[in-house]
Amino acid sequence: MTKNLLIALVLVIIIIVGYFIYKQSLSPVTVEPVKIGFIGPLTGDIANIGENLKVALEIARDEINRAGGIKGRQLEIIFEDGQCNPKVAVNAANKLINIDKVPIIIGGLCSSETLAVAPLAEKAKVILFSAASTNPTIGDAGDYVFRNVPSDTFQGVFAAEYVKNTMNLTKVAILKCLSDYCVGVSDVFKTKFQELGGTIVAEESFPQDAKDLRSQLTKIKAANPELIYFVSYTDGSIIGLKQAKELGIKAAFFGADSWSDPKIWQEVGKIGDGALYVEPANKNLPETFITEMNKKTGGKEINAYSPRAYDALKLLASLMIEKGVDPTAIKDALYTVKNYQGIADNYTFDNRGELTEGRYIVKRIQDGKAVEVK
């Protein structure tokens, strides 16, 4: 082979290779999205709250993707319906962990969902991050379990102090559903209220799916309390408040943060006027977030948890951009988060994956609407 022929052959090879490289550069590069999971009630008792959280997460997801996603990869959320039911939530978690292979699950919403899923997440080393579950024992549910909503250790104490010291009431009855959430917060309330010198004159419970609370309410009425601390999800609250009116109960009603579901007050109407409840204190929300939520929900009221779900996804996305999508790296980074500035709150996590403080407000129902008590 002559020298000139060799040079020509090399040039041809260079041109061919260059052509294919150029062609490849013009072709769209397929990059797999970063998939994470969500578990929460999208049907059933408190679907109104679950759907509200879903919309908030979608807003956060879209903002993250418009800004470039996770290092150029789009963020995708796989939404699973936990139905506020431990067994259903476990099935959803098994799918997300074993089939979808997600590194992160946002959820559950109900404490019973979160506590049921926690062992699976811990075993698989998948982050479980709740924006709404408040049962005190979640702080001990695993190294990969976090939440950006305060524990009921804070809420129950706040409620007891408010009833005893601000309302100056000493005789209280407790009415609670038999779920991890209801039992957890009511137990904290009871202990603190008694420590303050108050008396629990009656304590009644009912299954989460109960349709008739007349027996429990009749016993409470006979105890003649000044106030009924009523902890239940949406359907139980509607039933209990309506039946209390039918039974002629005059005691005031005081609820927990599950009463932030506006469906309760829409359903009970004037019966609910005067009822009080506690919910986490959020910042004044940005108008952009409010506008997007209203647009996507048709103007439904934004509950206390939705902006915290938005914050959860924004925080997790920032850590994935910095640390990658390995769950252990994300977990380790979460424990170092100090004063993260969200739209709902500022977040600092302790060595149990818990917020270091909890702030609350009290709301009163007036004409079917919840108004903050100043």
Contact 254/277 with Cβ under 8 angstroms? Answer: yes
Please report, in tens digits, the pLDDT of each residue of the chain (374 residues total): 555 555 545 554 555 544 544 444 444 444 899 999 999 999 998 999 999 999 999 999 999 999 999 999 999 999 999 999 999 999 999 999 999 999 999 999 999 999 999 999 999 999 999 999 999 999 999 999 999 999 999 999 999 999 999 999 999 999 999 999 999 999 999 999 999 999 999 999 999 999 999 999 999 999 999 999 999 999 999 999 999 999 999 999 999 999 999 999 999 999 999 999 999 999 999 999 999 999 999 999 999 999 999 999 999 999 999 999 999 999 999 999 999 999 999 999 999 999 999 999 999 999 999 999 98
Q: Determine phi and psi for 118, rounding to 5 degrees.
A: -50, -45
Provide CATH code, domain 34-150+283-358: 3.40.50.2300
Exposed, middle or buried by CB within 10 Å (0-12, 13-18, 19+), for 252? Answer: middle
**Which residues lie across from 107 on neighbouring strands?**
39
Give the H/E segment covering residue 340.
Answer: strand 340-341
Provide CATH code, domain 153-280+361-372: 3.40.50.2300
Rounded CA separation 55/102 (Å): 20
Contacts of 50 (CB under 8 A, 6+ apart): 40, 41, 42, 81, 82, 84, 109
Identical fold between 34-150+283-358 and 153-280+361-372: yes
Give the pLDDT of residue 31. Answer: 85
* Per-domain residue ranges of the chain: 34-150+283-358, 153-280+361-372
Give the H/E segment covering residue 160.
Answer: helix 152-161
Q: Determine phi and psi for 248, rounding to 5 degrees.
A: 75, 30
Reduced to 3 states (helix: H, G, I; strand: E, B; else coil), residue 277 is strand
pTM: 0.89
